[in-house]
Amino acid sequence: MPEERPADPVSDPRRKAAAVARRVRLALEAEGRAGLTAVPRARKRAAAGESPAAPASGSEKNAYAATDSDAEAEAAEVEAAIEAANSPASAPPEEQAAAALREDLMKQVRAASVETDLFGFASPDLAEGISHAEALARIAAEVAQCDRCPELCKGRTKTVPGQGDPNAKLVFVGEGPGQEEDRQGLAFVGRAGELLTKMIESIGLTRDQVFICNIVKCRPPSNRTPMPDEMANCMPYLARQLEILKPKVLCALGGTAAKALLQTDDGITRLRGRFHPYRGVPLMPTFHPAYVLRSYTPDTRKKVYDDLLKVRATLDA
Ligand code: URA
Q: What is the 3-state secondary structure (H, E, C) of 164-192?
A: ECCCCCEEEEECCCCHHHHHHCCCCCCHH
- Kind plus residue range of the DSSP H or E element containing 253: strand 249-253
Is the beta carbon of 163 within 6 A of some atom in ligand 1?
no
- Kind plus residue range of the DSSP H or E element containing 257: helix 255-262
Radius of gyration in angstroms for the set of CA atoms belonging to the chain, rounded to a whole number: 28
Question: Does 144 lie in the same domain as 177?
Answer: yes
Do residues 101 and 236 make contact, with C-beta atoms less than 8 angstroms apart? Answer: no
Question: Does 105 lie in the same domain as 187?
Answer: no
Report which protein residue has its CA nearest ligand 1's atom 7: 188
Question: What does the pLDDT read at residue 21?
Answer: 53
Question: Does 284 lie in the same domain as 209?
Answer: yes
**pLDDT, block means (10 residues), the chain with 317 residues:** 37 51 52 48 38 35 37 54 54 75 62 69 93 98 98 98 98 98 98 98 98 98 97 97 98 98 97 96 98 97 98 96
Question: What does the pLDDT read at residue 34?
Answer: 47
Is the beta carbon of 287 within 6 A of some atom in ligand 1?
no
- What does DSSP assign to residue 57? S
Q: 217: CA distance to ligand 1 center in Å?
A: 10
Question: What does the pLDDT read at residue 223?
Answer: 96
Is the beta carbon of 176 within 6 A of some atom in ligand 1?
yes
Question: Does 87 lie in the same domain as 144?
Answer: no
Question: Does 111 lie in the same domain as 212?
Answer: no
Question: Does 133 lie in the same domain as 105?
Answer: no
Distances (CA, A) of 171 to 21, 50, 83, 130, 282: 57, 54, 44, 21, 11
Question: Does 145 lie in the same domain as 103?
Answer: no
Question: Does 178 lie in the same domain as 162?
Answer: yes
Report how far Cα 133 is from the mean position of its chain's Cα atoms.
28
42 burial (CB, 10 Å; 0-12 / 13-18 / 19+) is: middle
Question: Does 221 lie in the same domain as 110?
Answer: no
Question: Does 98 lie in the same domain as 142?
Answer: no
Question: What does the pLDDT read at residue 82?
Answer: 47
Report the SS3 class of residue 258.
helix
Task: Choose which residue among 163, 175, 234 to substitute to test ligand 1 binding: the one with the highest number of ligand atoms within 8 A of its C-beta.
Answer: 175
Quote the CA–CA distance of 304 and 246 in Å, as a whole number.
24
Question: What does the pLDDT read at residue 101?
Answer: 67
CATH of the domain at 247: 3.40.470.10
- What is the position in ligand 1's atom list of the atom closest to the CA of 186? 6
Is the beta carbon of 174 within 6 A of some atom in ligand 1?
yes
Question: Domains in the chain: how many in total?
Answer: 2
Question: What does the pLDDT read at residue 87?
Answer: 58
| Any domain includes 7 | no
Predicted model pTM: 0.68
Question: What does the pLDDT read at residue 91?
Answer: 74
Report how far Cα 17 is from the mean position of its chain's Cα atoms.
32
Question: What does the pLDDT read at residue 104?
Answer: 67
Question: Does 302 lie in the same domain as 259?
Answer: yes
- Kind plus residue range of the DSSP H or E element containing 252: strand 249-253
Question: What does the pLDDT read at residue 155?
Answer: 97
Q: Which of 55, 85, 116 is the last residue of a domain?
A: 116
Question: What does the pLDDT read at residue 287?
Answer: 98
Q: 187: CA distance to ligand 1 center in Å?
A: 6
| Any domain includes 58 | no
| Any domain includes 247 | yes
Question: Does 177 lie in the same domain as 92?
Answer: no
Residue numbers of the domain that contains 267:
124-316
| Any domain includes 271 | yes
